[in-house]
Chain A
Amino acid sequence: MSASPDEVRARFDRLKAREPILQVRGLCKTVPAKDGERTILNDVNFTTHRREFLCVVGPSGCGKSTLIRTIAGLEEASGGEILVAGQPVHGPGPDRAMVFQGYTLFPWLTVLGNVMFGLRMADKPKEEAAREARQWLDLVGLEPYADAYPHTLSGGMKQRVAIARALAIQPRILLMDEPFSALDARTRARMQAYLVDIWRKIDVTIVFITHDLDEAVLLADRILVLKTGPGEVVDLMEVPALRPAAGRTLDDPALRATLERLEGFIHAHETVVDDEPVTPVVRLASVAEEVD
């Protein structure tokens, strides 16, 4: 059930008419290197709107993690600015929450304790924090595991707790750095469905890094494509479908075409090792393995 081009255009017009939540302007990031400086991100510009689902793709080492960590306030920008709902970012703040690839749950706290953590840091009274945390656990379907410790949970469940913990502080933006790449294929598919489901229920803008192009096409409203050396924006692609939904499949010819275009972008900017092109590969994931 491919959406008609008119429907799609109308939808993106509506999306872009919404208030901008995240504005990245002229963002640069340099790090000290042996011979002076190395540029990791060079003049990155993009805007995401309220309740948008933005995926970020690009070859390994192009600076995706650096970008999202700078947005999170964990790293300082070397130039340019980041605005969240119009306010410049200085350090981590409650308007942004992050889900990491490694689950980074606090092992000494129960599932409930983990979800309560941000609420307690915001000085919410204990009972209120616990009540709210249970609601978020309910949303990710883990209420029965409230008193379990993280090391007793499976990878998918851990990442659901991490999502609940991030959402509990009610951020404007949920930042996710390859959150599902450590999971097996089946769990990953289930988690993608969960995430879209949650995202549709609440008012949050998602910035989602992945090296899995299928995942990007299945999940995103728009896809930010980066290239490497230095990291720059190549394109901000609109995914021609009505809305990210658990029902999206790559059988849709429009989505197939998007996927092929994405692959074209990534191949055009493939890293060359020892002056020999890396063996042609279909998925970015395998490129990452070759270069590393």
Chain B
Amino acid sequence: MLGVLSFVLPLALWSAVSYAPFLWHPLVEITDPGDVAYYSKGMRAPADAFAEEVEGMTASGQAPPQGIPANPVYLPAPHEVALALWAAATPAADAREEFRLSSSLWHSIQIIFWAFLISSAIGVPLGILCGSYSAIGRLTEPFVEFFRYLPAPAFGALCVAVLGIYDGPKIAIVVIGTFFQQVLIIAGTTRRADYALLEAAQTLGARNLRLVRNVVVPAVLPDLYNDQRILLGWAWTYLIVAELVGTSSGITFFITQQARYQHFENVYAAIFILGIVGFGSDLLLARLGRWLFPWRRTTA
């Protein structure tokens, strides 16, 4: 219930600022420029300058401009964003492909998918080994710890030089951003495996790799799964930077383009969709987790 309210409140605030003319509205959108030479229809002028012009024009007997209170162009009203969202869901056939929100998003999702897959394929097993065998941990972790402080975007130019300008470097940057955190987090979680279970397994004859495979991994699997959910969230953050490297692409390209043309309703629509995809997939994964690990009652 409060969860719903936490979404309704900001939306109500946004609607109030957008639809109640007496709240904020620092600009005036010109509906009729009158005799003011530099005004044109649809233009937004600061409210005080507009009032001066009205006064000046009336005093000199010329036609005063007319207008309605407006917010800056970077704050579109909810319904404008909703329309943009709707348009994104039903793209016009004539729009160029990279200008369509849905195809931009699809491109971004593919980058995330491959990057996360590559990172996890190496990072998860390595993390588990680091957490299970202290020798491997001591050998690997200092370097990983160091590398994790090198900002992934700093490798942008290098990645482009090595991997070309298309999707290669983008995937690489998300991998670099995710992988090192992943090894450390997975190793840490593995270390928190219930020691009593490991001892019980040892008295039942489990040793070495079998102990890791049959006890350590299943014991921490629900936690590893939650770690992966959090790491996936981080991967999204790196995606935005990665997409600016080489030729811009995906959802980030869409956002920068739309901002350049001052189509801020599209910008907000894109940002919302990022949020919805991220939040929605996380909710889905959380639910899947509860189904996969029924013995873990709190898979929050």
Interface residue ranges, A against B (CB under 8 Å): 72-74, 92, 94, 96-98, 100, 102, 104, 106-109, 117-118, 120-122, 149-151, 165-166, 169
Chain A residue numbers with a CB within 8 Å of B200 are 98, 100, 104, 106
Chain B residue numbers with a CB within 8 Å of A94 are 205
How many angstroms from the CA of A122 to the CA of B205 in the assembled complex? Answer: 7
Q: Assess whether A108 is in contact with B295, with CB atoms less than 8 Å apart.
A: yes
Chain B's interface size range is 20 to 34
Q: Could you list some 13 contacts between A and B, CB below 8 A? A: A74-B202, A74-B203, A92-B203, A92-B205, A98-B200, A100-B196, A106-B201, A107-B295, A108-B221, A108-B295, A109-B218, A118-B205, A166-B203
Whole-angstrom distance between the Cβ of B114 and the nearest chain A Cβ: 30
- Knowing A100-B196, A104-B197, A106-B197, say if A151 contacts B203 (CB, 8 Å): no
Interface residue ranges, B against A (CB under 8 Å): 196-197, 199-206, 210, 214-215, 218-219, 221, 293-297
How many angstroms from the CA of A58 to the CA of B296 in the assembled complex? Answer: 37
Q: Assess whether B203 is in contact with A96, with CB atoms less than 8 Å apart.
A: yes
Q: Assess whether B199 is in contact with A108, with CB atoms less than 8 Å apart.
A: no
Chain B residue numbers with a CB within 8 Å of A151 are 295, 297
Chain A residue numbers with a CB within 8 Å of B210 are 121
Specify the chain A residue showing the minimal Cβ separation from B210.
A121
How many angstroms from the CA of A33 to the CA of B203 in the assembled complex? Answer: 28
Specify the chain B residue showing the minimal Cβ separation from A107.
B295
- Knowing A108-B218, A150-B295, say if A169 contacts B202 (CB, 8 Å): no
Cross-chain contact of A106 among B199, B205, B218, B296 (Cβ < 8 A): B218
The 7 closest A-B pairs by CB, nearest first: A118-B204, A121-B205, A104-B200, A107-B295, A108-B218, A98-B203, A92-B202
Specify the chain A residue showing the minimal Cβ separation from B205.
A121
Chain B residue numbers with a CB within 8 Å of A122 are 205
Whole-angstrom distance between the Cβ of A200 and the nearest chain B Cβ: 23
- Knowing A106-B197, A151-B295, say if A169 contacts B219 (CB, 8 Å): no
Chain A residue numbers with a CB within 8 Å of B297 are 151
Q: Assess whether B206 is in contact with A121, with CB atoms less than 8 Å apart.
A: yes
Q: Assess whether A117 is in contact with B201, with CB atoms less than 8 Å apart.
A: yes
Choose among B199, B200, B206, B295 the residue with the greatest number of A CB atoms under 10 Å from its CB.
B200
Q: Assess whether A165 is in contact with B204, with CB atoms less than 8 Å apart.
A: yes
How many angstroms from the CA of A270 to the CA of B204 in the assembled complex? Answer: 36
How many angstroms from the CA of A121 to the CA of B203 in the assembled complex? Answer: 11
Chain A residue numbers with a CB within 8 Å of B293 are 108
Whole-angstrom distance between the Cβ of A4 and the nearest chain B Cβ: 40
Q: Assess whether A108 is in contact with B219, with CB atoms less than 8 Å apart.
A: yes
Chain B residue numbers with a CB within 8 Å of A150 are 295
Q: Assess whether A74 is in contact with B199, with CB atoms less than 8 Å apart.
A: yes
How many angstroms from the CA of A72 to the CA of B295 in the assembled complex? Answer: 29
- Knowing A108-B221, A121-B210, A149-B294, say if A102 contacts B205 (CB, 8 Å): no
Q: Assess whether B218 is in contact with A97, with CB atoms less than 8 Å apart.
A: no
Q: A97-B203, A104-B196 are in contact. List 6 more A-B contacts (CB 8 A).
A: A96-B203, A106-B219, A108-B221, A108-B293, A121-B206, A151-B297
Specify the chain A residue showing the minimal Cβ separation from B194.
A104
Choose among A97, A107, A151 the residue with the greatest number of B CB atoms under 10 Å from its CB.
A107
Whole-angstrom distance between the Cβ of A163 and the nearest chain B Cβ: 13
How many angstroms from the CA of A124 to the CA of B214 in the assembled complex? Answer: 15
How many angstroms from the CA of A140 to the CA of B103 in the assembled complex? Answer: 61
Chain B residue numbers with a CB within 8 Å of A120 are 214
Chain B residue numbers with a CB within 8 Å of A121 are 201, 204-206, 210, 214
Whole-angstrom distance between the Cβ of A170 and the nearest chain B Cβ: 12
How many angstroms from the CA of A98 to the CA of B199 in the assembled complex? Answer: 9
Chain B residue numbers with a CB within 8 Å of A166 are 203-204
Q: Assess whether A102 is in contact with B196, with CB atoms less than 8 Å apart.
A: yes
How many angstroms from the CA of A104 to the CA of B214 in the assembled complex? Answer: 15
Chain A residue numbers with a CB within 8 Å of B219 are 106, 108
How many angstroms from the CA of A173 to the CA of B142 in the assembled complex? Answer: 44
Specify the chain A residue showing the minimal Cβ separation from B297.
A151
Whole-angstrom distance between the Cβ of A74 and the nearest chain B Cβ: 5
Whole-angstrom distance between the Cβ of A117 and the nearest chain B Cβ: 5
How many angstroms from the CA of A100 to the CA of B201 in the assembled complex? Answer: 12
Whole-angstrom distance between the Cβ of A165 and the nearest chain B Cβ: 7
Specify the chain B residue showing the minimal Cβ separation from A109.
B218
How many angstroms from the CA of A174 to the CA of B246 in the assembled complex? Answer: 66
Specify the chain A residue showing the minimal Cβ separation from B296.
A107
Whole-angstrom distance between the Cβ of A137 and the nearest chain B Cβ: 16
Chain B residue numbers with a CB within 8 Å of A118 are 204-205
Whole-angstrom distance between the Cβ of A196 and the nearest chain B Cβ: 22
How many angstroms from the CA of A121 to the CA of B202 in the assembled complex? Answer: 10
Whole-angstrom distance between the Cβ of A115 and the nearest chain B Cβ: 10
Chain A residue numbers with a CB within 8 Å of B196 are 100, 102, 104
How many angstroms from the CA of A166 to the CA of B201 in the assembled complex? Answer: 10
Chain A residue numbers with a CB within 8 Å of B205 are 92, 94, 118, 121-122, 169
Whole-angstrom distance between the Cβ of B86 and the nearest chain A Cβ: 45
Chain A residue numbers with a CB within 8 Å of B214 are 117, 120-121
Q: Assess whether B203 is in contact with A106, with CB atoms less than 8 Å apart.
A: no
Whole-angstrom distance between the Cβ of A24 and the nearest chain B Cβ: 18
Whole-angstrom distance between the Cβ of A124 and the nearest chain B Cβ: 11
- Knowing A149-B295, A151-B295, say if A106 contacts B215 (CB, 8 Å): yes
Chain B residue numbers with a CB within 8 Å of A149 are 294-295
Chain B residue numbers with a CB within 8 Å of A73 are 202-203
Specify the chain B residue showing the minimal Cβ separation from A106.
B197
Specify the chain A residue showing the minimal Cβ separation from B204.
A118
